[in-house]
Structures are given as structure tokens and as C-alpha cells.
Amino acid sequence: MRYWTGKRVLVTGACRGLGLVITKELLSLGARVVIHSNSTPLPNEDMVLKALENGQALHVRADLCSTSEINAMMSVVLAGFGEIDGVIHNAGISAYGSFLETSESTFQQVMNTNLYGVIALTKAALPSLIKTQGSILFISSLAAIHGVPNYLSYSVSKAALVPLQEALELELKPHAVHVGLIYLGFVENDEHKYSLSADGGKIPVPKRNIRTKITKERAAKKVLWAIEYKKRKVYGDFSGRLMRFINGIFPGVLRGLLSKNQNKT
Ligand SMILES: NC(=O)c1ccc[n+]([C@@H]2O[C@H](COP(=O)([O-])OP(=O)(O)OC[C@H]3O[C@@H](n4cnc5c(N)ncnc54)[C@H](OP(=O)(O)O)[C@@H]3O)[C@@H](O)[C@H]2O)c1
């Protein structure tokens, strides 16, 4: 039997962006998917609607900034699917603005979504993941390798996932739960992708013309590969390994590049 057939996987932020592509890839591989979203309605796509109709998928809603919503969501997931074999922590938000300008509430929203929400959901899902000897996959970023000016809250939240993965992996080893992390570089954006401004408003993220950008399909396949082969830490593409190398050998070069590009969104 193929690895994903019948696996019950919760994908956060699954109604748009990379999360939606991961969801479709999982459905096509025969997995059962818990499609989580917060504010985005279900996509009007045949594959997703059909899966919801025939029980291959389940749609749940929760604001990851709310532990009570996360716990209520997990009850619905367990009532619907029995147990869960994997959680892909895909949902995330970034904020653009200097440390000086960024309000505390914006900083908190980013930390709550990208870190505390991830922790709360991991806690809520863990008893089930222990039973199924399942997988947890954190989606981090190159912004975790070195702090990125004007994206400080995002960098801090994504960097914090690194020790979370490292320590959890060791703690959960006796339970045979896999814990992995992927450092994604630039992935193509949805047209309506937004980040937060310093005061918490929504600002559109422009289409990126970056040479190292990868497609959402390629990023999704790498995420699923990391789970199937129980990888600890992987890079979405070559740019991550390059950044890690430069940071290790020529940290001044990386600091120079980040400093030069710090006003780009
Ligand atoms: N795109 C890139 O270049 C890139 C690079 C490195 C890492 N990443 C990471 O990859 C992941 C996906 O990126 P993406 O580009 O697909 O992002 P995106 O298009 O901006 O989508 C973000 C997702 O996060 C969900 N979300 C945000 N705040 C939430 C909250 N408070 N509660 C629940 N869900 C919330 C959204 O759900 P709703 O729409 O339902 O609110 C949405 O589905 C993120 O973790 C991101 O940091 C992306």
C-alpha cells in the first residue's frame, strides 16, 4: 500500500496558498484531509468539494490565536476521523515594518499565529499522534536562519520553530512520533496574499520576481516527502542550503545582503 493511502492529515491554512496545494496533493495520493481555515471559505474546486462529500475530507475552522478554538476544532477532528496521523503546520502570517514602528499587538498576532498557535495545536493533537505514531511537520522559513530586518516578528516566530522541532523530536522519540521542519525559501504567492503592516492592517504582498522562487506544487511535494521519509530538517530548495552555508562561513556577506535589501517587501 502506498504511504499516504488512508492517512488522516490535518493541514492548517488549507483553503488558499501553499496549504491548498498541499491539500490537493494529499487528496490525490489517497489521504484523508482535515482542511483547516480561519477566514477563507472553502475553495470552489471539484476535487475538494467531492472529497468533502464522500468523507475523504473534513472542513474545520479555528483562529490559531485562540487556544479554545483550537481545542474545539480538535474535538471535531477526532469525532470525524477517529484519530489523526499527521499535522502539517502550514498556516502563518508575516508582518512588515521596523521594530520601532511595529505595534506590540502586531508582534503578538504574528507570534500567536506562527508559534503559540502551533504549540497549542501540537498539544491538542499529540495524544492522538502518539496513538497513531504519526507525524508533525513545521513550516519554517529562511527568515529563521538569520533575523531579517523589517520582518523581525516573522523571523523570531519561524526561528522559534527550530528548537521546538529539535526538542520535541527527542521527547517524542520513545513514542515513535516523527517531528520534522522545512525551511522554505521563496514560494510563488497567491494573487491575494497579504501580510500585516506595522499597525496590524493588511498589505498586499507583491508578486515576486525572484530567481530562486519555487512553485507551490514543488514546495508541497517537498513537504510531503519530508513526512513520508521522516526527515528532521529539510530545505525547500537550494537557496536555503546556500543561505545556511554563507551564514556559517561568510556571515558578514549575508548581513550585507540583508541590510541592502531591507526595504523590500
Ligand atoms: N510564500 C512564501 O514565499 C513562504 C516562504 C517561506 C515560508 N512560508 C510559509 O509557508 C506557509 C504558507 O505560506 P503561504 O504563502 O501559502 O501563505 P498565505 O498565502 O499568506 O496563507 C496563509 C494561511 O495562513 C492562515 N492563517 C493566517 N493567520 C491565521 C490565524 N490566525 N488562524 C488560522 N489560520 C491563519 C490563512 O488562513 P485563512 O485564509 O483561512 O485566514 C492562510 O490559509 C506559511 O507558514 C509561511 O510562513 C512561505
CATH of the domain at 203: 3.40.50.720
Look at residue 210 in the predicted model and tell me its pLDDT.
77
> Cell digits for 53?
462529500
How far is the centre of ligand 1, averaged over its atoms, from the C-alpha of 249 (Å)? 31
Look at residue 264 in the predicted model and tell me its pLDDT.
72
Decide if pLDDT at 76 tops 80. Answer: yes
Residue 156 lies in a domain: yes
54: which DSSP letter?
A: T
Residue 119 lies in a domain: yes
Residue 3 lies in a domain: no
191-195 contacts: CB < 8 A, separation 24 or more?
Answer: 192/16, 193/17, 195/93, 195/94, 195/95, 195/96, 195/265
d(C-alpha 19, C-alpha 219), whole Å:
10
Decide if pLDDT at 263 tops 80. Answer: no
- Cα–Cα distances in Å, from 130 out to 9, 126, 135, 238? 14, 6, 9, 33
Q: Which amino acid is at 182?
A: I
Residue 265 lies in a domain: no
- Which among 167, 165, 146, 185 is positioned nearest to 87, based on CA atoms? 165
DSSP helix/strand/coil, 153:
helix
Look at residue 9 in the predicted model and tell me its pLDDT.
98
Residue 91 lies in a domain: yes
Looking at ligand 1, which atom is closest to the CA of residue 186?
Answer: 3
Look at residue 207 in the predicted model and tell me its pLDDT.
79
> Regarding beta strands 8-11 and 32-37, do their DSSP bridges make them parallel or antiparallel, or are they unpaired?
parallel
Looking at ligand 1, which atom is closest to the CA of residue 158?
Answer: 47
The parent domain of residue 213 ranges over 8-260
Q: Provide φ and ψ at 196, rounded to 5°.
A: -90, 145
How far is the centre of ligand 1, averaged over its atoms, from the C-alpha of 252 (Å)? 31
Residue 92 lies in a domain: yes
- Who has greater pLDDT, 137 or 206? 137
Residue 2 lies in a domain: no
Decide if pLDDT at 174 tops 90. Answer: yes
Ligand 1 pocket by Cβ (under 6 Å): 13, 15-19, 37-40, 63-65, 90-93, 113, 139, 141, 184, 186-187, 189-190, 193
Residue 1 lies in a domain: no
The verdict on pTM exceeding 0.85 is: yes
Look at residue 65 in the predicted model and tell me its pLDDT.
98
How far is the centre of ligand 1, averaged over its atoms, from the C-alpha of 68 (Å)? 21
Identified catalytic residue from 154, 194, 229, 235:
154
How many folded domains does the chain comprise?
Answer: 1
Residue among 15, 20, 37 whose CB has most ligand 1 atoms within 8 A, to mutate: 37
Mean pLDDT of the chain: 96
- Cα–Cα distances in Å, from 15 out to 41, 152, 195, 240? 7, 26, 17, 26
Active site residue 151: no
Average pLDDT over residues 62-79: 98
DSSP helix/strand/coil, 35:
strand
Nearest-CA residue for atom 13 of ligand 1? 18
Q: Which amino acid is at 95?
A: A
pLDDT digits (tens, 9 = 90+) for 209-242: 777 799 999 999 999 999 999 999 999 999 999 9
| Confidence category of residue 34, pLDDT binned at 50, 70, 90 | very high
Looking at ligand 1, which atom is closest to the CA of residue 194?
Answer: 20
How far is the centre of ligand 1, averaged over its atoms, from the C-alpha of 16 (Å)? 8
DSSP 106-123: HHHHHHIIIIIHHHHHHH
